[in-house]
Structure 1
């Protein structure tokens, strides 16, 4: 646990998976060989050894990978037993008229209390209007009514959908995963900057400073490749709407947790303690309601 003299660090975006229990088909793609194995929270603890601005990792948000209710149930069970995990971003079928019943089932009991948001891998949808579908919009209204947030996972060409969602559902807390995946490799950021400014104009939207290194050249990226994106995010969201995330273990493909942590510390150079607190803990704590949940010992 953190205290006033040793403030904690929240990793607002990481994954776990056990390939023996549940295949991850997306890992079959080329270039994923370094992470084509199982990863658990103990692996995260072993990887995340570098502090950022004097803060060690104390809490995390685990995020769904596949369209699977059993995966979400497993993540809730993990959060209930592992004190590192403070919240779960799960998956539900947002095209289903039964989404309310499913959310109620997932959210029941102590394990269910860790469900704080849902996500769908919109970046993989071919329909350019997926988030505008009436069924999806109805489901997301239900998500908001259940007191949950929504993680927006899009690529840079899909911003129109996210902006429309923010316009239509101003009461739904939104967080933009991986800053909308700016095209860092190509270096052409003008369209992304225009669109991220449009989305940031909606006050219910937060943004994760995560997943940027895998949008850069995995082998050759430097701080100078990341800084233009950071500067835009800082300008349009400000520290109170930004949250640090590692996207571990995906970030292993481009240097790993500790290298990303060192980069974020460099980017925060000159920032005040209150700004560090917001980016490294406070924004995520507020969005995902990372308050302690009473844990009772398991029966022996």
Structure 2
């Protein structure tokens, strides 16, 4: 299967979705499975993983319901309060939903040392008991704390770094981010999504060549067994169309073997999230 390992759905609410600022007007509307399916088909994508955009259990329930109603939504990364006293009970409840694969917290909106918090670490540790995954969403300034965080977690807990940790592609900053990436990649349970690149570049003047130095770093660090394609649709639409997103990676991977491309475009996501056909 060819899998888009990172996209979102929402019924737009200007209060709840205040993170969608005026310059992001292109995505100030509803985005639902019926909007995505023809886009995926046009790009030869077989399925997707829907990732939380709002930090509420209502969001998790909403995504699970969509996944259960649409076969092409192969998995869901939801949200649960990972610092809650009743977390074990909530994870036990959510373990009944086959398509709910893991959870994410929007750490990029938290202080840089958030991932060092004992209560949060204890919460993420509990995911392992239920075979859930965890998506790491951070900025480059949080990579150091992320290295500490990963070191406190069970080795068998699958982790994936979203959006290659959002490097500052627009300004060309590379070195400090690259050091953090290489450190995280030393942990074999950490994977990385090739997603969210265009929104970290100049939205109006990016070129495919802008992304090559960053892709080179993550390919060298993680290898082709721990990378997966994600579009970040519809957020990507502020800077690029879906075909443009895929073309960036198609172009970059043109010199890779067919087997390597197959891993990045689906096999790794299927294995990581335990997706079914």
Question: Which of the five TM-score ranges fits, normalised by the shorter chain?
Answer: over 0.9
Comparing 222-231 with 14-23, greater Cα deviation is found at: 14-23
Match of 1:15 among 8, 30, 33: 8
Name the TM-score, length of structure 1 as normaliser: 0.89
Q: 1:3-44 CA deviation, whole Å, 9 max, x = no partner?
A: xxxxx31000000001269942212x2311110000011211
Q: Which residue of 2 aligns with 1:129?
A: 113
Q: Does 1:42 align with 2:34?
A: yes
**CA RMSD after TM alignment:** 1.4
Q: Which residue of 2 aligns with 1:25?
A: 18
Match of 1:84 among 55, 66, 72: 72
Cα offset, 1:256, TM superposition: 1.7
CA contact (8 A) 1:117 1:151 kept: yes
Match of 1:57 among 42, 45, 54: 45
Q: Distance in 2 between matches of 1:247 and 1:26?
A: 15
CA contact (8 A) 2:2 2:267 kept: no
Q: Distance in 1 between matches of 2:16 and 2:39?
A: 23
In the alignment, structure 1 segments of 5+ residues that lack a partner are 1-7, 293-300
Q: Which residue of 2 aligns with 1:295?
A: none
Cα offset, 1:135, TM superposition: 1.1
Larger radius of gyration: 1
Q: 1:84-127 CA deviation, whole Å, 9 max, x = no partner?
A: 1111000011111211111111222xxx111111000000012x
Q: Which residue of 2 aligns with 1:297?
A: none
Cα offset, 1:280, TM superposition: 0.2
SS at match of 1:184: coil
Q: Distance in 1 between matches of 2:135 and 2:195?
A: 13
CA contact (8 A) 1:50 1:261 kept: no
Q: 1:147-202 CA deviation, whole Å, 9 max, x = no partner?
A: 01100000010001211121111332110000000110110100000110000011
Q: Distance in 2 between matches of 1:22 and 1:143?
A: 30
Q: Does 1:152 align with 2:140?
A: no
Name the TM-score, length of structure 2 as normaliser: 0.96
Equivalent runs, 1:191-270 vs 2, <5 Å: 191-270=176-255
SS at match of 1:48: helix
Q: Distance in 1 between matches of 2:51 and 2:114?
A: 21
Comparing 201-210 with 36-45, greater Cα deviation is found at: 36-45
Q: Distance in 2 between matches of 1:87 and 1:142?
A: 20
Q: Distance in 1 between matches of 2:29 and 2:276?
A: 32
CA contact (8 A) 1:76 1:115 kept: yes
Q: Distance in 1 between matches of 2:208 and 2:235?
A: 19
Q: 1:273-299 CA deviation, whole Å, 9 max, x = no partner?
A: 11011100011011100124xxxxxxx
CA contact (8 A) 1:239 1:278 kept: yes
Q: Does 1:162 align with 2:146?
A: yes
In the alignment, structure 2 segments of 5+ residues that lack a partner are none
